[in-house]
Structure 1
Amino acid sequence: MMGVPWRYLPLLSASGSLQMALDAWLVAEHRAGRMPALLRFYQFSPPALSLGYHQRAWPTPAVAIDCVRRPTGGRAVLHQGDLCYSLITSWIGQSRPAVYRQLCQFLIQGFAVLGCPLSFGTETAAGREANCFSLSTPADLVDSAGQKRIGSAQRWFGTTVLQQGSIPLQPDPDLWQAAWGRPLPDVSPLPPQDQVIEALVAAGRTLWGDPLWPHPLTEEEWAQFSQAQSLSGLPPSPAPAELGRPVDWHCCTDLPV
């Protein structure tokens, strides 16, 4: 990782469908040699429920909410009041779990600076639970009290890896209850979003040896993305009639596959 050029895309607030299509396009650009390794932060606006790439069943929210499919694995994630990140890079010579743990180091180091030490979870991912944040598997980062703070998942495209993650900062208790049918977990608050981004970017600079200056997409790149959006390769987002369909749970873990 050290010495590999990186590009840092600053915070982008947009719909879930655009965010997921953008990650798919960025992966394609990286694989074609037109985009270096990349870190970006983003938020879903409006709030949305994202599903893992292989997820075959999901809850029926008690409120109307967008539902999109991620290009990565894992279970359903409610995106409201959270900070999302994506990493795209190429890797040869290590196992995928080892790469996953190494990429997560910028999260661990950044949160340590914020006074919230994190470690990998220990729970099994087996079972019928659809909510990503109801479990803390070895692919998740938990605080000293064992509470899950960051959920992440990967998908590999040859030697290129896309890692996406969600960091709940200010989730709405009512929306959480409506989406999952249970109360929001009682966890200690995290620092404001700007401080979290600053700490994570600083950790990336240290670990990756790149200044990570903000470099948003240009107008030309947005135009190229718009042209390619229909060819993003993502599975279609589920239709409203499909929500909560009574099929067997697919065993979707947040572990890299």
Structure 2
Amino acid sequence: MPGTPHTVSDVMTRTVVALRSDTTFKDIVKAMERWRVSALPVVDGDHRVVGVVSEADLLPKEEFRDGDPDRYARLRRLSDLTKAGARLAEELMTAPAVTVPADETLAQAARTMARRRIKRLPVVDAEGVLQGIVSRSDLLKVFLRNDEDIAREVRREVVAFLFPDPVEPIGVEVRDGVVTLTGRVRDTSIVPVAARLVRAVEGVVGVDCVLLGAPRRPDLDPDLPAVAPVGEAGGDPTDRSGSRSS
């Protein structure tokens, strides 16, 4: 139904600086400074990702540089103390690395970053070989999509699919990524489905769905309640109404 979502391979950076396990502490800092990144993947001899070194892994050396740690630090921060004395990437890296396949959707990658609280992910193939890197800013590129492109996809992939024979033409307006649907449809039970599918279109910031059912016919439907959008006074998801979603 809706068009194939963009995947990590569509937005990732393919030229990646990687570290060897024997890269020294100072060379790691130099690489981060030169390439203006806060983390670097560590690879083995076959270019498989085995870990990641971030600025957080390097900071303990400075934190514990000018004094002996107290008893609390020795008990609770053993890992940081170990890294404070580390000299090579293999001693500093966080392992195993959190990685992402190139064919994963941007939404899936975003969920991984949010749940693991990380800013970037090494992109690997089925063998774990490094293919690229994807960052938070890469995932946000979909919101640079222009309103006209979004409107065309909504009309083609959602409106034409769900409402091939509407009571009146369905209006699709997009402004700053916010999609507004207007018009009348024969089956209002699928209006919430339309809102969800529109929200899933890449680049959409929000959805205002004001789709209504067929107009009341007093002579034929004397008991039919007046039409009101769902969520407003008198609205009912089971009547011939629309819904508003954001």
TM-score range, shorter chain: under 0.3
More strand by share: 1
Larger RCO (CA under 8 A, 6+ residues apart):
1
More helix by share: 2
- For the pair shown, the structure with the greater C-alpha radius of gyration is 2
Question: What TM-score does the superposition give when structure 2 sets the normalisation length?
Answer: 0.20
